[in-house]
Amino acid sequence: MMNTNTQQSEKVNEMFAVGAHFGYDRSRRHPSVIKYIFGRKNNVEIFDLEKTAVKLEEAKEFVKKIGSTNRQILFVGGKKESQSIIQDAAMKLDQPYVSGRWIGGTLTNFEEIRKRVKHFLDLTSQKEKGELVKYKKKERLMIEKQIAKLDEKFSGISNMDRKPAAVFIIDANRESIARDEAIVNHVPIISLSSSDCHFEKIDYVIPANDSSVQSIKYFTNEILKAYEEGQKEAQAAKTK
């Protein structure tokens, strides 16, 4: 069995391979990030990946606990590098996600958002059952356009019938509205965030490159696996 130091060393190598160590230039660094910076290369700040490995494990342990009780994590990543990665991971776990523009009030005005989601689901159900034929052609076209707009906004959170147990955010600076809504609603935040982000506003920060596709994919997959591990451990405990 590998010891903890060996495991951490392997994690550091994996993160280095996907470019997780690259932050932004020094002028963009948020003061809360300083203790996670190892140094600079060509004015680009370099993360201390040993510290990142520790923070990643803390985040994964928290995610495992959520997975063990089958509670929901809302995956959030609107930047183009993260959209498909976030969506694929969330769908694999049957979790809600926002891979486009964050709809203001998703958490702070949850009940109203849920009403709009239910309206979307109702219209979608009517369409699938062929019930829209009762409307005139012009009315039917308007309803179908409405369904398309609602789908774009709400399809990712259609299975979120209550506030999530946590949010997993790619780039808490870019997704500041989602971050702030989570804070107001006391929803714990897990976030892959680079050197321009305010780490003190994140409960479980993963300090690393949040712009590289490879880095985003790596850390999102780590969160995904942690959730699955929590589920498996809970299932194993039930069968004993």
Distance of CA 199 to the CA centre of its chain: 16
Say which CATH architecture domain 27-106+163-239 belongs to: 3-Layer(aba) Sandwich (3.40)
Most confident of 33-42, 147-156, 183-192: 183-192
The whole-number pLDDT of residue 18 equals 97
Q: What percent of the chain has pLDDT over 90?
A: 78
Q: Tokens 């506003």, residue? A: 201
Q: What is the DSSP string of 133-182?
A: GGS-HHHHHHHHHHHHHHHHHHGGGTT--S--SEEEEE-TTTTHHHHHHH
Please say if the pLDDT value at position 237 is more than 90: no
pLDDT of residue 14: 96
More confident residue, 164 or 11: 164
| pTM, full prediction | 0.92
Please tell me which residue, 183 or 3, carries the higher pLDDT value: 183
Confidence class for position 1, pLDDT limits 50, 70, 90:
very low
Print burial letters for 33-52: b (CB count within 10 Å at least 16), e (below 16).
Answer: beebbeeeeeeebebbbeeb
pLDDT single digits (tens) 108-140:
999 999 999 999 999 888 888 787 778 778 887
| Range 13-20 average pLDDT | 96
- For 56-113, the pLDDT digits (tens) are 999 999 999 999 999 999 999 999 999 999 999 999 999 999 999 999 999 999 999 9
